[in-house]
A and B are shown apart, each in its own frame.
Chain A
Amino acid sequence: EAAVTQSPRNKVAVTGGKVTLSCNQTNNHNNMYWYRQDTGHGLRLIHYSYGAGSTEKGDIPDGYKASRPSQENFSLILELATPSQTSVYFCASGDLTGGRSYEQYFGPGTRLTVL
């Protein structure tokens, strides 16, 4: 069973504080993703990675940094958290080798509240 875990599951932060969301996958997938989910927007891609050492900007990267120190781990960093970043954040890993099976496995989500 493919596995993606996230920590913490819930986080309350103060405006201007630094927040790090962590994601770990045991699927040996090259690709990992961070999304946020807000009512009325579905899931929006923040950052993604093709492998260890790589990070790419998604559709809404402003205010976020990402780090992929290893195949298994992908972090999302909010250097200066703002209330507009209050959301549910999902991490995913995926096998996107072209032409073959393409699947994404999602973590359980992290609920972040910035006060």
Chain B
Amino acid sequence: GQQVQQSPASLVLQEGENAELQCNFSSTATRLQWFYQHPGGRLVSLFYNPSGTKHTGRLTSTTVTNERRSSLHISSSQTTDSGTYFCAIDPNTNKVVFGTGTRLQVLP
């Protein structure tokens, strides 16, 4: 089946530091998304980014489809960025496959 690997599994930062989260996937035909899960459990979509680079606020996602990887960069991290970040792919089958996530903790 399709595989989605995320790294690191967990990350601890001091407020103001930058973070780089990685996602590698086994299929070249993807509809890649990044999600954020609040510590309380709520999941929200951050990016739909099948290829190229997208920005929103302090977040930047870069997907290189033919290299089967995507990254999520968080600049000037804040304590409110703490939570778990997932990438997910849909290899054109409508069966979305999630990675196991990166748990981020930003300390004040």
Contacts and interface: CB of A to CB of B under 8 A. Distances in A.
Contacts of A105: 45
B98 interface: yes
Interface in A68-103: 88, 90, 92, 94, 96, 98, 101-103
Interface residues of B, number: 23
Contacts of B83: none
Contacts of B98: 35, 42-44
Most buried by B among A42, A58, A109: A42
A92 B33 CA distance: 14
Interface string B13-56: 00000000000000000010101000001111100101000000
Nearest to B47: A103
Instruction: Bin chain A's interface residue count.
Output: 20 to 34
A31 interface: yes
B96 A103 contact: no
Interface in A36-79: 40-45, 48, 50, 56, 58-59
15 contacts: A33-B96, A56-B95, A58-B95, A88-B41, A90-B43, A98-B92, A102-B33, A102-B50, A103-B48, A104-B33, A104-B35, A104-B96, A106-B42, A106-B43, A108-B42
Interface of B: 1, 31, 33, 35, 41-45, 48, 50, 86, 88, 90, 92, 94-101
